[in-house]
Structure 1
Amino acid sequence: MTTQTQASAEAALDEIKTVTAMVLPEPPAAAPTLTGAEPAVAEEIRRRIAELDIRDSGSIVHFGARAQNELQEISQAMLADVKNKDVGPAGESLRDIVTTIRGFSVSELDVRRERSWWEKLLGRTAPFAKFVANYEKVQSQIDRISSDLDGHQHRLLKDIKSLDVLYERTLNFYDELALYIAAGEEKLAQIDRDEIPAKAAAVEAAPENDKVMAAQELRDLRSARDDLERRVHDLKLTRQVTMQSLPSIRLVQENDKSLVTKINSTLVNTVPLWETQLAQAVTIQRSAEAARAVKDANDLTNDLLTANAKNLRQANAQIRTQIERGVFDIEAVRTANAELISTIEDSLRIADEGRTRRAAAEEDLKVMETELRKSLSSASARPANPAPATAGRSATP
């Protein structure tokens, strides 16, 4: 709700208290009579009796009509005012603001909620960003509806004041009708008591030539008396309807008073409370988001500490193992010694095998040398011209 709307609602509070505290007067229980009325009221009744001219039918027809003019003027002014202004039902605005608040989904307050694959596919904002956007939308709707409610409040106050005037004028009209009814009844009694008997006696005493005219005057008097009686009866019916309209006006006015009080309470108390709660919701979610960030940082710190401790243990074990090792591992020395011994033994074996092969080769060389000498000796002992070959092979010497 804007500051201007709130200030306007608070300023109207005193006026609402004044309007709702006003007590409308009750109509009198009984209609006055000329004989039992107070002197001032009796004088008013005589003034209205003076308006009647029994010989003028127009005065009978319009008897009491003057009392309606002022009431019609205020009624027509109220109707014109209603036609000229755009009056939206204030109850609808109240329902709209409740619907707006209820439409603010509480499930969207959970900033830890992961976006669904559909939301990610459509590129929808994160839950907290969407929540803030919805808050701003709801805030603008509250401002708009609050402004409408403030307008309804001022119009209802104006209507209540107009209804006060209408009730007062209607009550005056009711009292005025009572005066006209009392005047009409007094006039009827006067006609029945004085004028009709006097006119009937005049008809009886009139000469024969004038009896017809005198009788006609008597009939006209009686006809006028009957018209006045009907007019008084209509005034009585009008007074009864007017008496019924007074509680109707009060009922409408009380409903308007209740509604304007509810609107003012909504603007002054309820809407600021809603806005406070919404603001708190945003602050709480921001705090929750900050707490989540702190938690993530703490979790990361703990993870780093744990991982570093594990890495330190592993590195320390490796380092200490290497520190505590000798220059050469005993196993490596043992393996190298065994390999060295095997190498020496292999060398001795190969050397022995070489000597054996060399000795055997020397013997072979001696045999080959002997054979070679023998061959050479045999070649030098052969003749220069050997004999031709015979059919048979000669024996070797």
Structure 2
Amino acid sequence: MSEQALEGAREEEVQRLAAAIDLKDPGTILRFGAAAQSRAQAAADAMLEGAQNRETGEAGATLSAMLAALKGFDVTTLAEKPGFFQRLFTRAGAEVAAITQRYEGVRAQVEEIGDRLDTHRTKLLEDVERLERLYAATLDWFHALADHIEAGQRVLARTDAELIPALEAAAARESDPLAPQALRDARAARDELERRVHDLRLTRQVAMQALPSIRLIQENDKALAAKIQSVLANTVPLWRQQLAQALAIHRMREAGQAVKAATDLTNTLLTANAETLRRGNAEARRELERGSFDIEAVKQANAALVGTIEDSLRIADEAKAQRRAAEAELAKCEQDIRRALSAARARENPAPR
């Protein structure tokens, strides 16, 4: 309905209400606006029900329980480097198994709380819709009171401008002995109507105060429902992802320790081989020095020794180059992971248009 049509409809309603007022009939004044004022009790009951909404309190308590459960299970400690005594008295596999077992218990608790939160969220959204209907009804109530006030004011203005002066003139002529009583009755009815209009103004103020109160309760319900949705859609998945990353880092560290052990063993074998070669060369030299010896054999042994040394240096250089290449590949892998995560985050949070 357009604004002009709405104004026309309200004008017709005001005229109808004004026409229903008969100053000669006290009942029309007493009944004037009574139906509109009776909505105050219904609005007050609805506001009290919204303010005492148990669903809001239970949803807040359930949400707090969810956050407490998530905070109580800190998965970041798994990614930290264990201390010496922890490594000495705790096996890595047992530690991961304990973390996983505890996670299963917390996950069941989180899923149960999540189901309750989803139920609370549905009820909160239903309350939001109910409050929207209450707001519309209260707004109609406010307009109805305004129409009654306008109609009463028009009747009062017409009474002061036309009826009262006419009755005063009739009473002044003293031709009708009942004219003074009619004037008194008209003034009393006029005052009664003025009191009714004043009461309606007070009721309209109550309706005006109810409108922002309804919106406040509605906004609180919407904010809580949105927070529940955010926790279910973002916080819980991120918590699970953090656990997966912590376990992966822990296993990666174990693999690194295994590689280090293999490298240490290789170094030990190289050192042992060098010592063995040294002892064998010394024994050979002593045998050669005991009598005549073949210079070519010595030169060949010396060349083999030099080759051994060069092979060792070359192997060491190749190992260093392989480690640098591995570091570069690891850095590239890390950049790829970060870039993929950034792209996923961008898709989850598209830029506003």
Given the two structures, how large is their TM-score scaled by the length of structure 1? Answer: 0.56
User: What is the aligned partner in structure 1 of residue 107 from structure 2?
Assistant: 139
Structure 1 pair 55/262, CA: closer, same or farther in 2 (3 Å)?
same
User: What is the aligned partner in structure 2 of residue 292 from structure 1?
Assistant: 257
User: What is the aligned partner in structure 2 of residue 46 from structure 1?
Assistant: 15
- Encode CA deviations 1:226-276: one digit per residue, 9 max, x unaligned: 121111112123223323432333344334334433332332233322322
Higher Cα Rg, which structure: 1
Deviation of residue 75 (structure 1)? 5.9
User: What is the aligned partner in structure 2 of residue 338 from structure 1?
Assistant: none
2:157 to 189, 193, 198: 189
State the alpha-carbon separation in 1 of the partners of residues 248 and 34 from structure 2.
Answer: 69
Deviation of residue 180 (structure 1)? 0.3
Identity %: 41
Provide the secondary structure at the position in 2 that maps to 1:182: helix
Contact 2:51 2:217 in 1 (8 A): no
1:176 to 144, 152, 162: 144
Structure 1 pair 225/187, CA: closer, same or farther in 2 (3 Å)?
same
User: What is the aligned partner in structure 1 of residue 76 from structure 2?
Assistant: 106
Residue identity matched to 2:29: I
Q: Any unmatched runs of 5+ in structure 2?
A: 289-353
State the alpha-carbon separation in 1 of the partners of residues 139 and 53 from structure 2.
Answer: 27
User: What is the aligned partner in structure 1 of residue 322 from structure 2?
Assistant: none
Deviation of residue 41 (structure 1)? 2.6
Structure 1 pair 294/44, CA: closer, same or farther in 2 (3 Å)?
same
State the alpha-carbon separation in 1 of the partners of residues 77 and 242 from structure 2.
Answer: 16
State the alpha-carbon separation in 1 of the partners of residues 259 and 47 from structure 2.
Answer: 65
State the alpha-carbon separation in 1 of the partners of residues 169 and 14 from structure 2.
Answer: 29
Contact 2:75 2:242 in 1 (8 A): no
State the alpha-carbon separation in 2 of the partners of residues 198 and 318 from structure 1.
Answer: 146
State the alpha-carbon separation in 2 of the partners of residues 319 and 57 from structure 1.
Answer: 138
Contact 2:78 2:247 in 1 (8 A): no
Pairwise mapping of residues 1-397 of structure 1 onto structure 2 (< 5 A)? 39-69=8-38, 72-73=41-42, 76=45, 86-88=55-57, 90-103=59-72, 104=74, 106-110=76-80, 112-113=82-83, 126-201=94-169, 203=171, 211=178, 215-296=180-261, 298=262, 301-302=265-266, 305=269, 309=273
State the alpha-carbon separation in 2 of the partners of residues 243 and 84 from structure 1.
Answer: 22
Deviation of residue 152 (structure 1)? 3.2
State the alpha-carbon separation in 2 of the partners of residues 281 and 71 from structure 1.
Answer: 59
More helix by share: 2
Provide the secondary structure at the position in 1 that maps to 2:23: coil
Provide the secondary structure at the position in 2 that maps to 1:88: helix
Given the two structures, how large is their TM-score scaled by the length of structure 2? Answer: 0.62
Residue identity matched to 1:155: K
Structure 1 pair 250/84, CA: closer, same or farther in 2 (3 Å)?
closer
Structure 1 pair 39/129, CA: closer, same or farther in 2 (3 Å)?
closer
**Cα RMSD over matched residues?**
4.5
Structure 1 pair 280/59, CA: closer, same or farther in 2 (3 Å)?
farther
Deviation of residue 173 (structure 1)? 1.2
Contact 1:115 1:127 in 2 (8 A): no
State the alpha-carbon separation in 2 of the partners of residues 315 and 205 from structure 1.
Answer: 152
Provide the secondary structure at the position in 1 that maps to 2:57: coil
- Encode CA deviations 1:276-302: one digit per residue, 9 max, x unaligned: 222222232233334434544x26744
Deviation of residue 61 (structure 1)? 3.5
Q: Any unmatched runs of 5+ in structure 1?
A: 1-27, 29-36, 325-397
Deviation of residue 191 (structure 1)? 2.6
User: What is the aligned partner in structure 1 of residue 329 from structure 2?
Assistant: none
Contact 1:109 1:127 in 2 (8 A): no
Contact 1:111 1:289 in 2 (8 A): no
